[in-house]
Amino acid sequence: MGVLQNLLVRHASATCAAVLLFVLFPFLARAQSQHLVTLDDLTSQMKFVGQYLELSPDDETLAYSIENDDSLWLLNVKARTSRTLGQGFLPRWSPDGTKLAFYSTRSGTLQLWILDLKTDTSTQLTNLEGGIDPNPVAGLSGSDEDPLRYCWSPDGTRMVFASRMHARGNESTRISPSNGDGKTSPATDLQHQPEGTPIVLTKTTPPEWTDSGLFRYGEYQTALSARGPGSGTEADSSGKFLARQATQLFTVNIVDKRMQQLTNDDRGYFTPDWAPDGTKIVFMSSEGRPITGYGPDTTNLYVMQLADRKETLLTSGVGQKRLPSYSPDGKWISYLGCQQFEQAAAYVVSSTGGTPISVTEQLDRNVRVGPYWSPDSHALFVSYQDGVSILIGRVSTADGKLQRLFDDHAFRAPFTVSRAGSLIWVQADGTSSEVIYRADSEGRNTGELLDLNPKIREWALGKQEVVTWKNGRGDELEGILIKPVGYQQGKSYPLIVDPYPGLANGFMGGAMSGNQAFASRGYAVFFARERTAHTWENPTHGDAFNKATRGPQGADIMMDDLMSGIDAVVKMGVADPNRMCLYGFSNGGGATNLIVTRTSRFKCAVSASGVMPDWTTAFFLIDPGTFVKLIGGVAPWEDPGAYIKLSPVYHLDKVTTPMLLAAGDKETSGAFMALEMYTGLRYLGREVTFLRYPNQGHGFEGAALKDYWKRANTFFDFYLHPEPPSIERTPVATLKR
């Protein structure tokens, strides 16, 4: 749900002006010599920085990775030169800066490696059978790399990390469901279940077993592969089920490579951080609670004394607490905390125990990543969303006073803070993407270190504008508008609306979202970032604003947000109200499915990997607890009308918009959900096409992506009749209508 794990969505800037152009791009004079953005540019020419980057202790060398190919790089800060270290990601410097640890699969499985800067040689540090493998959904913050977080000991002799231990090969299919008496049965081989011997599920069976992918209908898996209590059941590439044990904590000695397992039970342990005095670690535990695709609903933090492995509970109560980190002086521990599906805040708690304190309560925005400590242990650096922007702030741990570090509205993420106090971030704006910058801890003395995508300067880009408007309820909203390349004032253009909710917009966009390649084909592109009922996070404003869509009224709020935004763009004169189309992916596809049941305003609609056309199906086959929370606290039998109102399949008779549906058959539920939409529309005789791509997951890749892109553009061209820019150097292909 809303997880764009392989498609990086990069962000644009926000403002409070009614319509503000934040970049003056003189493309008209230069367009003849510039290149129009294509699908290939978006998929193979752009480079993106990995979630974690780190500056060496002496502030002279930046370690970072490129997500596209999982390559690891070192940047000499003074010389502004980079060199590659080969395959790897998530780099961490040793305390003395002489070594760099990182993850790599260069030996066949994911292991920890160390680069010795003195000899310039890399050595494999761990050799776990099957590789290092923490539960992938335990990070809870949206970053795929969070569960893999590891830490050096202060003396630089050891590292601590989290991993599951699981068997491979024939043993990998063995799991242990209930025998029917509430007790766990011996291991059961799902691939060779004895004839006439059932797997018995009772009222005492843990809920993760019904969500574990045990039940299939034809080629459609009717339940998401959920993870068990700190462990899980997943399907591998051959379709076999892998039973994996709970995630445990380990230390490894960097000299003799000896490993020591610190934990050994079913509670699940994650994201350890070493205390500055070297005697203890802090970590997150799921405490044996089920970890579904949305993480456990409750986690808590513990401190372990390494001498005797005695654990002390640091936090308590319901809610998620994650990413703990010791302050440099060792007196405090910071973390992110929230109730499941609610706005996260940054907290600090005494490292010896006590009452946690929210230091971002005054912010009333969702804290995304971090927090990172200042060198003096008096402040935290946080990343948060405000409107369509992702911002960096410095917050005092004493009084919660927030200092916004930059006055402009460019997107800055990911970011990090060095041990010496330097701030490093990756920036995108209207004319650049993935530029690495450095500043001091106050956001001053900013300097560019590296532009990973200098070719963008050679591209003809549609101008990006931040558009603000008020919906019918008086809420002020923000969206992003990309004008067509060659835009002429006073002329209206066909509009592609990307209804992906909440999250900030990308500069170039991804191939499965609105993007600059559409602008190159003569389309305006609008990202309304409306709130929706089917997402647990609408992080553009404060907590009350984001929760307003919880429940059946969420559909009405979504339409109000979206349609008022489109009205604003039409009023600007940019969009032709008679030539508009929806282009939704993932959560945006789910929004598209519902929107077309409530308006005939769009000439066509594309829904790729669209989520939850039937909320009742989702309740029973995905995760009941999740949907009770999202819909306002009721189950289907308590308020069936609420589920019906939010479910497009119950309103398909109102659809008049031609639809193009697409899904990959390797996504656990995506193809099944798209089939629900297709079957209903086909039965009604509506204009509908369903593209089911083999060997594709949530986001499409390779030949499937190229085919999808071609078909989607042909679909748009047929219904919207764009006029390709006359200033292009590389002609836009004319598609048959």
Distance from CA of residue 515 to its chain's centroid?
Answer: 18
Taking 3-state DSSP, the helix, strand and coil percentages for the chain, each rounded to the nearest 5, stand at: 20, 30, 50
Buried b (16+ CB within 10 A) or exposed e, 234-271: bbeeeeebbbbbbbbbbbbebeeeebeebbeebbbbbb
The 10 Å CB-count burial string (b at 16+, else e) for 300-338 is: bbbbbebeeeebeebbeeeebbbbbbbbeebebbbbbbb
Instruction: Give me the amino acid identity at 497.
Output: V
433 within 8 A of 25, measured Cβ to Cβ: no
pLDDT averaged over every residue in the chain:
83
Q: Chain centroid to CA 492: how far?
A: 34
Span 503-512, pLDDT tens digits: 655 555 677 8
pLDDT at 186: 40
- Residue 619 token pair: 């309740």
* 142-145, long-range: CB < 8 A, 24+ apart: 142/3, 142/368, 143/51, 143/369, 144/5, 144/51, 145/50, 145/51, 145/52, 145/89, 145/90
Q: Which two tokens stand for residue 441?
A: 């801890």
Predicted confidence at residue 633, as pLDDT, reads 80
What's the one-letter identity of residue 17? Answer: A
Contacts of 188 (CB under 8 A, 6+ apart): 174, 175, 176, 177, 199
The predicted structure's pLDDT at residue 197:
65
Dist CA 446 CA 438 (whole Å): 6
pLDDT at 176: 41
How far are the Cα atoms of 570, 576, 633 from residue 579, in angstroms, in the given order? 11, 5, 39
Task: For residue 500, give the nearest of 527, 465, 480 by alpha carbon.
Answer: 527
Q: Are the beta carbons of 39 and 46 closer than 8 angstroms?
A: no
pLDDT, tens only, 617-671: 888 877 777 778 777 788 999 999 999 999 999 999 999 999 999 999 887 666 6
Q: How far apart are CA 91 and CA 406, in angstroms?
A: 27
Query: Looking at the DSSP assignment, which residues form a beta bridge with residue 460?
Result: 36
| Torsions phi, psi for 448 (to 5 deg) | -75, 135
Tell me the pLDDT tens digit for each residue of 343-395: 899 999 999 999 999 999 999 999 988 799 999 999 999 999 888 888 999 99
DSSP per position, 397-446: TTT--EEE--SS--EEEEEEE-TTS-EEEEEE-SS--SEEEEE-TTS-S-
Q: CA–CA separation, 263 vs 305, rounded Å?
A: 12
Domains of the chain: 19-44+456-720 (3.40.50.1820), 49-164+246-453 (2.120.10.30), 169-244 (no CATH)
**Cβ pair 341, 629 in contact under 8 A:** yes
Which residue ranges in the chain fall short of pLDDT 70? 1-33, 136-145, 166-194, 197-245, 290-294, 503-509, 536-537, 668-671, 726-737
Q: Quickly count: other Cβ atoms within 10 Å of residue 655's Cβ.
A: 24
**pLDDT, position 37:** 92
